[in-house]
Amino acid sequence: MSNKLNHSMSLAKPDVQDISTKQKIALATGLVGLLILILAFFNVNFPNRAVFLTLALSLITAGTVVYSRDAYLTKLEGIKNDGVWFKSISSRGAMGWALGVFLTAFYIVLYFYAELLGAGQGANGTNTGLIALFDPLSNLLSGRDASQWFVYGTLYTVAIAAFGYKFILKYRHNKYQQIRTVSVIFFQLGFAYLIPEFMHVMNSDLPYYDLKSVWPLNYYLFQDYHLNQFLSAGNIGTTLIIFGIVSTLVITPILTYKYGKRWYCSWVCGCGGLAETAGDSFRQLSSKKMSSWKLERWLIHAVLVFSVIMTVGVVSSFLKGGWVDGVFVEGNYWLSNEAFLTSVGLFLTVIFAGVMIFKRSELGKDALYGAIGYALVILSLFVVYFTGTNEEIFFVNSGTLKSAYGFYIGSIFSGVIGTGFYPILGNRSWCRFGCPMAAILGFQQRMLSKFRITTNGGQCISCGNCSNSCEMGIDVRHYAQKGENIVRSSCVGCGVCSAVCPRGVLKLENDSMDGRINPTEVLLGNDVNLMDLLNQK
């Protein structure tokens, strides 16, 4: 046995892949930046916050930039995966676990103990600690003090930009990787970070709305407080609601049909953006086991069903009406509750029937699970209608239900496990196991999309680089070595499998739906008659 395999668990420095002096300096620079933030967290009062904040963020960015340049630009262009399974941080070694614990702790504080970050802890509700450090920037952008979400958003954006730069250098021979990384940086910086701040400046009644965050990823979009805020913001609010609906029902299906779910998951989405940039070093950690795939399918579809039912319930109760100054006011919108529930039911029935009629053969055993899911949703529509009262959905206080949903999906799953566990479960465990948006897009990608990863005839040598690099845990090799195209609902189209393949076997492309899924018995290159004989069967 190779004695290399267990090294990463030891605290001792792995004996290969020493980093250069320049990289050490860069690392130290970044850590000093981080240290400023940590000191602020421990309530060290910095004299001139604007200066120190700038310093902290610049040092972190500069450290990452210098490190990346030295790591990649000193070598020829090509695949840069040397030692990823030796380095403690990227192979679930001690460093990896330490980072995981640190990130998880950060998320727990962020979601549940924001006061520790200093939110509103000062005199007259002003901020202290880490959040106060970010006040100058927040004031600059939107004229209000920072919140923990502003701190988080800023760090998130800096991480995507700095590690995005690193990723671009790592793949400097690969245009696809570079362009999509520029794209995620752009959407994060513009749509998730700056535009909502400016929207607030323009109209302070508007709730935070990241235009690129589409329902059901944006699970609170249709919650009553949110809808109320929108409606009270006048025309622009209404327009935004309409935009939200259109982006789910029209824009998303069209783009997914043309390009697959990658247009969102690895070009636009913020969760995906962080995974692809800051999370890139952990992509190999996702489990490729068949058992993980099974778990994934149960979990993600359960989350989807849950989020559909939740949203319907919430909208339904909103349409019924709400309490104003202790008096219940019947809802009086152009859409009645009955009409809403009926149209949701009809819509789902049309989709379900369409799939069953046209795609039955591709579904196999999954058809049964699909039917169960469908029945569950329809049933719940009735339950919502007959049992939903003004304050209860499914006999449970609607407020409790909503916060439970936000809690489990929004914080535990996407934050704590999704990002906190990057160094343990890989960089896309949220996208893979928990994101309802990924479930919908994936379903369409599998059923109705031009996207596929084409396998290049018989060229695969089963080396496994592709599967190893797949952050979604897809066993790409399983298909490639059979000469079969990869058409999987979970594929986010990151293109890394194609990049790392040493034999040029994989190509992400959009082409006609015919022959997209091409199971073969005998691969290209063998006896033509034999191929015909066996592959026709």
Partner 1 sequence: MEHIVIIGNGISGVTVARHIRKNSDKKITIVSAETDHFFSRTALMYIYMGHMKYEHTKPYEDYFWKKNRIELKRGYVKTVETKSKTLHFEEGDTLQYDKLVIATGSKPNKFGWPGQDLEGAQGLYSKQDLDNLERNAPNNKVCKRAVIVGGGLIGIELAEMLNSRNIPVTFLVRENSFWNGVLPEGESAMINRHIQNHHIDLRLGFNLKEIKADENGRVKSIVITETGEEIDCNVVGLTAGVSPNISFIKESEIETNRGVLVNRHLETNIKDVYAIGDCAEQRDSGIGQRRPIEAVWYTGRMMGETLAQTICDNKTEYKPGHWFNSAKFLDIEYQTYGWVFAKPRENEAHFHWKHEDDTKCITVCYDTTNNKFLGINTFGIRMRHEVFDKWLTEARDIDYVINNLPEANFDPEFYKHFEKDILSAYNNNLQTA
For partner 1, the binding residues (CB under 8 A) are: 1-5, 15-17, 76-79, 81-87, 173-176, 179, 284, 288-290, 454, 456-459, 461-465, 467-468, 477-478, 481, 495, 498-500, 502-504, 507-509, 521-530
Phi, psi of 494 (to 5 degrees): -70, -25
* Shortest Å, Cβ 71 to ligand SF4: 22
Question: Beta strand pairing status for 506-510 and 451-455?
Answer: antiparallel
Dist. CA 165–CA 69, nearest whole Å: 9
One-letter amino acid for residue 403 of the chain = S
For ligand SF4, which is the closer residue by CB, 127 or 177?
Answer: 177
From candidates 305, 470, 487, 531, binder to ligand SF4 by CB under 6 A: 470
* Shortest Å, Cβ 302 to partner 1: 25
State the number of CA atoms in the 13 A half-sphere of 145 facing the CB. Answer: 18
From candidates 431, 466, 487, 531, binder to ligand SF4 by CB under 6 A: 466
* Shortest Å, Cβ 192 to ligand SF4: 22
For partner 1, which is the closer residue by CB, 13 or 360?
Answer: 13
* Shortest Å, Cβ 13 to partner 1: 11
In the structure encoding, which two tokens stand for residue 164, read together?
A: 């995005």
Residue 470 binds what, of partner 1, ligand SF4, none (CB under 5 to 8 Å, by partner type)?
ligand SF4
Q: What is the separation, in whole angstroms, between the first and last Cα of the chain?
A: 43
Q: Is 462 in the site for ligand SF4 (CB under 6 A)?
A: yes
* Shortest Å, Cβ 498 to partner 1: 6
Percentages helix, strand, coil for the chain, rounded to the nearest 5? 65, 5, 35
Taken in order 495, 496, 502, 505, the sign of the CA dihedral is: negative
Residue 5 binds what, of partner 1, ligand SF4, none (CB under 5 to 8 Å, by partner type)?
partner 1
Specify burial of residue 323 (Cβ count, 10 A radius: 0-12, 13-18, 19+): exposed
One-letter amino acid for residue 199 of the chain = M
From candidates 465, 485, 487, 489, binder to ligand SF4 by CB under 6 A: 465
- Of 94-102, 382-390, 502-510, 513-521, the segment contacting ligand SF4 by CB under 6 A is 502-510
Q: Is 493 in the site for ligand SF4 (CB under 6 A)?
A: yes
Residue 466 binds what, of ligand SF4, partner 1, none (CB under 5 to 8 Å, by partner type)?
ligand SF4
Phi, psi of 30 (to 5 degrees): -60, -40
Dist. CA 24–CA 30, nearest whole Å: 10
Region of 80 on the Ramachandran plot (φ > 0 left; ψ -120 to 50 alpha; else beta): beta
Mask for 412-451, x = binds ligand SF4 (CB under 6 A): ----------------------------------------
For ligand SF4, which is the closer residue by CB, 219 or 451?
Answer: 451
For ligand SF4, which is the closer residue by CB, 133 or 472?
Answer: 472
* Shortest Å, Cβ 496 to ligand SF4: 5
Dist. CA 279–CA 68, nearest whole Å: 15
From candidates 59, 221, 435, 472, binder to ligand SF4 by CB under 6 A: 472
Specify burial of residue 41 (Cβ count, 10 A radius: 0-12, 13-18, 19+): middle
In the structure encoding, which two tokens stand for residue 78, read together?
A: 């090509």
From candidates 285, 373, 495, 531, binder to ligand SF4 by CB under 6 A: 495
Report whether 168 contacts 144 (CB < 8 A).
Answer: no
The three-state secondary structure class of 126 is coil
Where do contacts with ligand SF4 occur on this chain (CB under 6 A)? 460-466, 469-472, 474, 476-477, 480-481, 486, 491-497, 501, 503, 505-506, 508
